[in-house]
Every structure is written in C-alpha cells, then in structure tokens.
Amino acid sequence: MEQFNLEIISPEESILIKNDTEEVVIPAIEGYMGILKDHIPLISFLKPGIIDVKSSNENLNFYVDDGIVEFKDNTLSVLTSNIFDLKKIDKNQIDKIIKDAEEGLKKENIKDQEKYILDQKIGVLNSINPN
C-alpha cells in the first residue's frame, strides 16, 4: 500500500511523526473520514473521537477531544490540545474525563454546540472505557 507522512502535534509536544502511514481515520466534524495517499487537500475541524492510524508495521489508536486537521502534499497534520494513546490510558483517567464532561452538561445556559461536543466526548469515552 502507498504511504504518506503523518504528524500529530499538541502545544506541549510532538505526539507522533511517521513517514510510513498507509491510512488514517479521523473524527472530523463532518463525520469519520479516511485519509489515504494522494487524498485531495483538506482542512477540517476534529470532534471528540478516535484517530485510527494504520502503517506497514503497526496500528495505533488515539482519543482526541478537538483540533484541526490539514492534508496537503501527502502530509497529514493533526493539531490538537488534548490527545492520548488508548494503549497508555487507564480506567481512572477515562472515568475522570467522563465525570467532568457530565458536570459540564449540567451547566445552566449551555450552548447547543458545547452540549453536542460534551455528548460526543461521553459517548466515545464510554465506548472505550474498560469496565
């Protein structure tokens, strides 16, 4: 399979840089989107969800809260403020994020967009949370 470059960056650190990526599925605002080599250029916002990275020798999964994605010149750049590797997260961390999101939903005068994002976050985290 043909390969492209991937970089996932947060303000604190470079999370992942790969040059052997075969496919990435991202949780774009428009819905989950698969990216392959030579995809048309795009810029999109991320919603809470799972980024699935497939390369020749490994598959990686990251939970992301939000961010911006750009694909140009066979390089996918993911810029996000909150991301974690699903292999390195524990149940207590997930429980805390879910609890914080549920508290956010209880606020008075919550805007529809904020409610949507919090609902998405809770749904995704509940689906990955080991019981």
**Strand, coil or helix: 57:** coil
Instruction: Dig out the tokens for 75 from the structure.
Output: 């390089």
CB neighbour class for 99 (10 Å; exposed up to 12, middle 13-18, buried from 19): exposed
Q: Going by DSSP bridges, is the β-strand pair 75-79/4-9 parallel, antiparallel, or unpaired?
A: parallel
Residue 130 has pLDDT above 70, yes or no: no
Task: Render pLDDT for 62-104 as a digit per residue (tens, 0 to 9).
Answer: 999 999 999 999 999 999 998 999 999 888 989 999 999 999 9
C-alpha to C-alpha distances, 30 to 18, 34, 43, 63, 76, nearest whole angstrom: 25, 12, 11, 17, 17
> Which domains does the chain carry?
4-85 (2.60.15.10), 91-128 (no CATH)
pTM above 0.85, yes or no: yes
- Where residue 14 falls (left for φ over 0; alpha for ψ -120 to 50; beta otherwise) is beta
Q: Which residue has the tokens 């916002």?
A: 45
What is the C-alpha to C-alpha distance for residues 18 and 118, in angstroms, rounded to an integer? 30
Instruction: Dig out the tokens for 96 from the structure.
Output: 């805390």
Q: Which residue has the tokens 């496919």?
A: 23
* pLDDT tier at 128, thresholds 50, 70, 90: confident
